[in-house]
Amino acid sequence: MLAGSRRILPILLALVSATAFARAKGKATLVLQVTPKGAQVFVDGHDMGKATAGRSIEVTSGFHDVRLVYKGDEREEHIKFEAGKKTIYNVQFDEGSGKENGGDDLDVPSSDDSP
């Protein structure tokens, strides 16, 4: 029985180390709450695809520029992400959209302590 325990212990240590390493690298999560869906998402200028309800994007901790573009209208924020936390980014575009429709229905990003 002791021999079996010796084989499991290194596996458990590796899993714990991998989890600690991931937190040490400072991963954070951007959660998009964008309506209507379909806005193009850019993080630090990199195209991340389309926004869908509740879409999550993993980023490193620290500051990032998040830009959303929908039918000629765009919103951009410089957001601080904290390791191990979710940051919810709420944006409401006008259905007709386009900058000429005015109104900035942008909610300030919020952080959630749950990983």
Domain count, the chain: 1
Q: Does residue 48 lie in a domain region?
A: yes
Distance CA 50, CA 91 (A): 14
Mean pLDDT over each residue of the chain, to the nearest integer: 78
Domain at 67, CATH number: 2.60.40.10
Kindly report, residue by residue over 1-36, the tens digit of the pLDDT. 455 556 665 554 455 544 454 454 699 999 999 999
Kindly report, residue by residue over 64-114, the tens digit of the pLDDT. 999 999 999 999 999 999 999 999 999 999 876 554 444 444 454 555 655
Q: Does residue 44 lie in a domain region?
A: yes
Does the pTM exceed 0.85?
A: no
Distance CA 74, CA 99 (A): 8
Range of the domain at 81: 26-112
CB–CB of 87/28 below 8 Å?
yes
